[in-house]
Structure 1
């Protein structure tokens, strides 16, 4: 007999399916509008019109425009974590792992476009960022923290440092550089690679 935990989840109702479809339509319209106008210049009425819904429907799904970018960021981070996890050994080399992470983030920048990417990162340093959103709770930060903790357990990173703090510091510094180091270029990529080497060099035992 199939146990309760093995039983497939019930199919969503027609109403729930319609709600999810509407939410996705609103989300896609919002990201597209932000890509055209920037977060500050985006009008919720324009998002609603593009999605074919009334203005109130946007607020039903997203309390603010900022919440759209927070969700987009988490989606992108989950995608990057999946790629990194597929290639990561049980005892990862931090330098190569974090270098690959940065390059995946740069690929996300190209995919999303400079306006959406800039505004998404800018929220980390903005008072408008949703208060319930903490960097340490993000998939990418959690992945980095776990990788540092594993390197610590393998005695490659100093045991007296806090993996959680190091992970958040690394991600905050990375986002700051991406926000301020100009547009995509070889010099910018080289700067980011040096940043990773500097941070990892400070973590690892000499």
Structure 2
């Protein structure tokens, strides 16, 4: 039941992200939009259910065949990182799958660590996106 809920809402989130990607955007905007959509999902489910579902990703009992590449949001984010790399906005050796995985794992970790919704959490999430972008973009 929980996995079915996850799949339905993940498809909804991916569809919304896909619509966002149809318009003008850059990588920071995509990352901020991903955060916004995940926060919206957390709000819809409630914090406890959200943490339980996120915990499934990191559970030692999760099915072995469960892979990031099976998740639409991950695939969309990885593709956007790859497009940014091809446009020369990121380091040449940026791995789009690692970048998407690192971002999503970090986002879920922050959301389960900073449970209180408010200015501190918002600030941490903004800094997280900024730090992620800086880690992918060459300086100068």
Structure 2-normalised TM-score?
A: 0.89
Aligned residues: 139
- Alignment of structure 1 residues 7-46 onto 2, 5 Å: none
Given that residues 122 and 179 in structure 1 are in contact (C-alpha distance below 8 angstroms), is that contact kept between their aligned partners in structure 2? no
Name the counterpart of 2:138. Answer: 205
Query: Where does structure 1 lack aligned partners over 5 or more consecutive residues?
Result: 1-67
Query: Where does structure 2 lack aligned partners over 5 or more consecutive residues?
Result: none
The one of 40, 43, 47 aligned to 1:107: 40
The one of 168, 188, 196 aligned to 2:121: 188
The one of 21, 28, 34 aligned to 1:95: 28
* Cα separation, 2, equivalents of 1:132 and 1:120: 17
Larger relative contact order (Cα-Cα within 8 Å, sequence gap ≥ 6): 2
C-alpha displacement of 1:90: 7.0
* Cα separation, 2, equivalents of 1:89 and 1:152: 18
* Cα separation, 2, equivalents of 1:189 and 1:74: 26
- 1:122-178 Cα deviation digits (max 9, x unpaired): 112211222221223211111110000010111111111211111111111111111
Name the counterpart of 2:93. Answer: 160
Q: Does 1:148 align with 2:81?
A: yes
